[in-house]
Amino acid sequence: MNRGHAPSDGFLLPVQKCREGQDVASLADHELIAAVIGTGTRGKDVIDLSLQLLRDFGGLHGILSHGIREIARARGMGLAKAIRVRAAFELGRRVISRRVDSRCVDSPSAVWEFLLPYMAGLEREEFRVLVLNNKNGILKNSMVSAGTVSEALVHPREVFRDAIREGAASLIVAHNHPTGELTPSKEDISTTRRLVEAGTIIGIPILDHVIITDTSYYSFKEGGYI
C-alpha cells in the first residue's frame, strides 16, 4: 500500500492528523519529515521513505550536516525533496537566530544558545567573534575564520578589526568542534592566550572563549585559561 494517498484502513498521514486537530509539535521526527517531502516513491510510501532517511543519515542532526545533493542521492529522494528538507531546516535556523539576536551574552551558556543556530551541524570549524558593548549586548556577530575539521586559523588583526570599528567594550570569541569533543586542544589554548594578550594591549578585553558543539559547550574562562 502506498501511503502517499489517504488509505481506507484508518491510517492517517501527518498532514491529515493535523487537519483533524493534532498539534504539529506532537508529530514524531519521521512524520515531520514526511509532511515536508510530501510523497513517497514507487514501492516505498512517504512514511517509510522518511524513516529510511533518518536511519541513513543518523537522525535530524545527521540530515542537517549534509548538503542538498547528498540528501538527494538517498534512495527515493531526488533534488526537489532534498531542497524541501533543507529549506525546512533553514526556516528553523532563521527563526531561532533572529529571536536571540538582541540578547545580552553574560554567561557561557548564553553564548552557546546564541551561536548554536549558526554553528550546529557544521562539518568544519568556524571561529566567531561577538563584539560587545559595555552591557554585554551584541554589537556584531562576525565569522572571521573557517578552517578544517581539526583547526581554525585565526589572526588577532581579524579578531579585533570589527571590535575597533564598532568601538567595542569587550569581545567573546568562540569556535565549534564538529567532532563533538569539548576538550580544548593545545592550539586552542595557545590561540586563546595570544588573543587575550592582544586584547590587553589594544584595550579591548577578551571576556571568554567558548567551544561550541551541538549538545554542549566549554568555557576557557571557567577552565582557568582567561
Residues 35 and 93 in one domain: yes
Residue in 164, 175, 179 with CA at minimum distance from that of residue 212: 175
pLDDT for 5: 45
Q: Quick one: 171 and 67 in the same domain?
A: no
pLDDT at position 25? 86
Asked if residue 225 belongs to a domain, the reply is no
Secondary structure (DSSP) of 65-123: TS-HHHHHTSTT--HHHHHHHHHHHHHHHHHHHHHHTT-B--SHHHHHHHHHHHHTT-S
Domain that holds residue 176: 103-219
pLDDT value for 100: 47
> Is 226 part of a structural domain of the chain?
no
How far, in Å, are 22, 101, 180, 189 from residue 97 at the CA level?
Answer: 27, 6, 21, 28
Q: Let me know whether 122 and 201 are in one domain.
A: yes
Residue 110's pLDDT is: 92
User: Do residue 88 and residue 124 come from a single domain?
Assistant: no
If asked whether residues 85 and 184 sit together in one domain, one would say no
For residue 33, give the CATH number of its domain: 1.10.150.20
In tens digits, the chain (226 residues) has pLDDT values of: 444 444 434 578 888 888 888 888 888 999 999 999 998 888 888 999 999 999 988 888 888 888 899 999 988 899 999 999 999 888 887 776 655 455 678 899 999 989 988 888 888 889 999 999 988 888 888 888 887 644 556 888 889 998 998 889 999 999 999 888 899 989 899 999 999 999 999 999 999 999 999 889 999 999 999 9
Angle at the Cα of 42 (from 45 to 31), degrees rounded to 5?
20
- Domains held by the chain: number: 2
pLDDT value for 103 = 67
CATH number, domain of 149, equals 3.40.140.10
Does the pTM of the predicted model rise above 0.85?
A: no
Predicted pLDDT of residue 118: 87
Grid cell locating 181:
569533543
**Those residues with Cβ within 8 angstroms of residue 47's Cβ, 6 or more apart along the chain or in another chain:** 3, 13, 30, 31, 34, 40
